[in-house]
């Protein structure tokens, strides 16, 4: 490996099991020499799998509901104590739609579900940055990354209200990133990842067809969770210091393809 994160300290949100994108990022960050705190919602802890990752990476776990300012304040304070100083990188890898979970169609959303999903999936990013910014918890040239999906910009009918949540999340990255850059020289970006077979991803209706379609549209094929971890590590490293306020596509080229030969072939009579 390259020691890209040697001596860097971080907080990683959202590792639920070995399929999680955050799990792969934690493994790669460890390989690259970082130390970090792992966090997830208290309810996710009950599944117990996070302990395995903590042991493997020599990390401590601090539970935090990412919608709770109290939990986030405790998380940031304790992380700085455990890691022995300010933070260099933060991964926000959190998403959840109650409308999706309960099978509500987009045209028949239940609005308290909408509000909850928006708070967890989008506003939590603002809350995380609010605590980090106001506590001056980030080192200069630190890097904050949140994960997003292309449905924020183009229609994917079954992505439901997560499309709106992702649009809001990407906007927060730009708006908060401006102040974080100007005042504390911290960069903030979103990575727009290919469909990936994880717990959250598989919750999207018709996910198998969806992932195959994206794969056949992309000249390089879908990016895996492991690929996403590599890219995220580069965004945490000192090699990307002047990249900020961006929504970065990590999707094998999908976002710029109108149609591929493979997909055309399925419509062409031989
Ligand atoms: N899987 C995909 O196809 C895909 C594609 C693009 C982007 N993403 C995004 O990647 C991120 C990670 O998702 P994943 O695919 O690894 O799935 P995942 O299910 O492994 O991770 C989602 C995480 O969010 C956490 N979470 C939910 N509510 C929370 C709360 N209140 N407080 C703190 N954490 C909470 C869950 O416990 C879980 O660890 C999400 O933002 C997701 O939208 C996923």
Please work out whether the CB of residue 66 comes within 6 Å of at least one atom of ligand 1.
yes
* Class of residue 109 by CB neighbours under 10 A (exposed 0-12, middle 13-18, buried 19+): middle
Percent of all residues in the chain with a pLDDT value above 90, rounded to a whole number: 91
Please work out whether the CB of residue 100 comes within 6 Å of at least one atom of ligand 1.
no
As a whole number of angstroms, the distance between CA 139 and CA 269 comes to 59
Lookup result for tokens 């999908």: 254
Q: What band does 120 get if pLDDT is binned at 50, 70 and 90?
A: very high
Testing ligand 1's pocket by substitution, the residue of 94, 127, 163 carrying the most ligand atoms inside 8 A of its CB is 94
Q: What band does 204 get if pLDDT is binned at 50, 70 and 90?
A: confident
Could you tell me the pTM of the whole model?
A: 0.98
Q: What band does 1 get if pLDDT is binned at 50, 70 and 90?
A: confident
Q: Residue with the nearest Cα to atom 22 of ligand 1?
A: 94
| pLDDT at position 31 over 80 | yes
Q: Return the SS3 of 254.
A: helix
Mean pLDDT of 5-33: 98
Task: Report residue 146 as tokens.
Answer: 């949140």
Q: Which atom of ligand 1 is nearest to the CA of 191?
A: 7
Contacts of 77 (CB under 8 A, 6+ apart): 135
As a whole number of angstroms, the distance between CA 173 and CA 192 comes to 12
């Amino acid at each position: 490996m390259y020691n890209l994160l040697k001596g860097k300290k971080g907080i990683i949100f959202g590792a639920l099991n070995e399929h999680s994108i955050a799990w792969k990022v934690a493994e790669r960050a460890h390989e690259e020499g970082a130390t970090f705190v792992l966090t997830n919602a208290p309810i996710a802890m009950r599944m117990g799998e996070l302990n395995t990752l903590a042991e493997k990476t020599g990390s401590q776990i601090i539970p935090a509901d990412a919608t709770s300012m109290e939990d986030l304040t405790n998380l940031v304070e304790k992380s700085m104590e455990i890691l022995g100083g300010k933070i260099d990188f933060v991964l926000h890898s959190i998403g959840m739609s109650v409308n999706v979970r309960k099978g509500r169609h987009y045209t028949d959303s239940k609005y308290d579900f909408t509000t909850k999903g928006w708070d967890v999936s989008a506003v939590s990013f603002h809350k995380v940055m609010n605590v980090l910014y106001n506590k001056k918890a980030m080192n200069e040239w630190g890097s904050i990354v949140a994960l997003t999906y292309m449905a924020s910009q183009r229609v994917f009918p079954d992505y439901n209200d997560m499309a709106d949540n992702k649009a809001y999340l990407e906007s927060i990255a730009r708006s908060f990133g401006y102040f974080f850059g100007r005042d504390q020289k911290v960069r903030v970006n979103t990575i727009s990842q290919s469909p990936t077979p994880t717990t959250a991803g598989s919750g999207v209706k018709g996910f198998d067809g969806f992932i195959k379609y994206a794969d056949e549209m992309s000249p390089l094929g879908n990016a895996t969770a492991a690929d996403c971890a590599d890219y995220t590590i580069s965004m945490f490293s000192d090699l990307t210091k002047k990249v900020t306020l961006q929504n970065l596509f990590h999707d094998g080229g999908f976002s710029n393809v109108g149609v591929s030969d493979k997909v055309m072939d399925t419509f062409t009579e031989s």
